[in-house]
Amino acid sequence: MLKWSLPAAALLGAALFVAPALSTAGVVERAVPVPVPTLDVKPSKGEQVAVLAGGCFWGMEAVFQSVKGVHSVTNGYAGGTAQTATYAQVSTEKTGHAEAVRIAFDPKKVSYGTLLRVYFSVAHDPTQLNRQYPDTGPSYRSAIFPQNAEQRQVAAAYIDQLTKAKAFTKPIVTKLETGNFYPAEAFHQDFFWRNPTYPYIVRYDKPKVAAFRNAYPLLVN
């Protein structure tokens, strides 16, 4: 999110300010067509977890909460340390964290590869280095935090597949990283749904969710 756009009241944990909506003119509600991953994580019993970073977590959270088979999505900070995993500190762009989402999902209903497909095609722009649209800085970087060796193999293979397929006109800058995930403050959770008229949500995130629904109707929960 734009650092200056988050109300001071929210930083103090108070009620969020709801500002007038901005126009969505110029925002394309269309996903980038990307191929199905040729390699995927094998389905297993029980819940699996994916951790993905791609700019402001408000929109990322809303997209993946809309995916069938996803049990929960948590906004947070990946990488860095527990001591500096707060919004105020991460916003200094000196902590090494990335705004990210932790996705808990049923692998029998949606695969890790499918989540990566949504991630690359609609949840964010993987060609933007250390930024996403108006947000700049390394905390807004495109990064995947594999939770095991199989996820790392699948993610690396998919980036290679997309690169060879020339799915994007610019190089993919997404990196595979290691690091822990730390949940963000309570006021960041479910922000999209609790603040539907917030300017940033209207301008950048509602079109993103619409693009997902239009491109992947069979995946919508």
DSSP string, 23-77: P-TT----PPP-PPPSS-PPP-SS-EEEEEEES-HHHHHHHHHTBTTEEEEEEEE
Indicate if the pLDDT at residue 140 is higher than 80: yes
Tokens of 78: 């990946």
Specify the pLDDT at position 16. Answer: 38
Residue 56 known to be catalytic:
yes
Specify the pLDDT at position 157. Answer: 98
From the number of C-beta atoms within 10 Å of its C-beta (0-12, 13-18, 19+), residue 24 rates as middle
Specify the pLDDT at position 22. Answer: 35
Q: Where are the alpha helices (DSSP H) in the chain?
A: 8-11, 57-65, 87-90, 112-118, 149-165, 191-194, 199-200, 206-215
pLDDT band, residue 6 (cuts 50/70/90): low
Specify the pLDDT at position 11. Answer: 40
Average pLDDT over residues 143-168: 97
Separation of alpha carbons 209 and 212, rounded Å: 5
Separation of alpha carbons 64 and 220, rounded Å: 9
pLDDT band, residue 45 (cuts 50/70/90): confident
Specify the pLDDT at position 81. Answer: 97
Specify the pLDDT at position 30. Answer: 75
pTM: 0.89
Separation of alpha carbons 92 and 86, rounded Å: 10
Specify the pLDDT at position 186. Answer: 96
Mean confidence (pLDDT) of the chain: 89
Report whether 16 contacts 201 (CB < 8 A): no
Coil, strand, or helix at residue 180?
A: coil
Specify the pLDDT at position 4. Answer: 45
pLDDT band, residue 10 (cuts 50/70/90): very low
Average pLDDT over residues 111-123: 97
pLDDT band, residue 44 (cuts 50/70/90): confident
Q: Looking at 6, 41, 51, 56, which residue is catalytic?
A: 56
Specify the pLDDT at position 24. Answer: 38
Average pLDDT over residues 87-95: 96
Tokens of 60: 């990322």
Report whether 52 contacts 103 (CB < 8 A): yes
Percent of the chain with pLDDT over 70: 87
pLDDT tens digit sequence for 179-188: 999 999 999 9
Separation of alpha carbons 30 and 58, rounded Å: 19
pLDDT band, residue 97 (cuts 50/70/90): very high
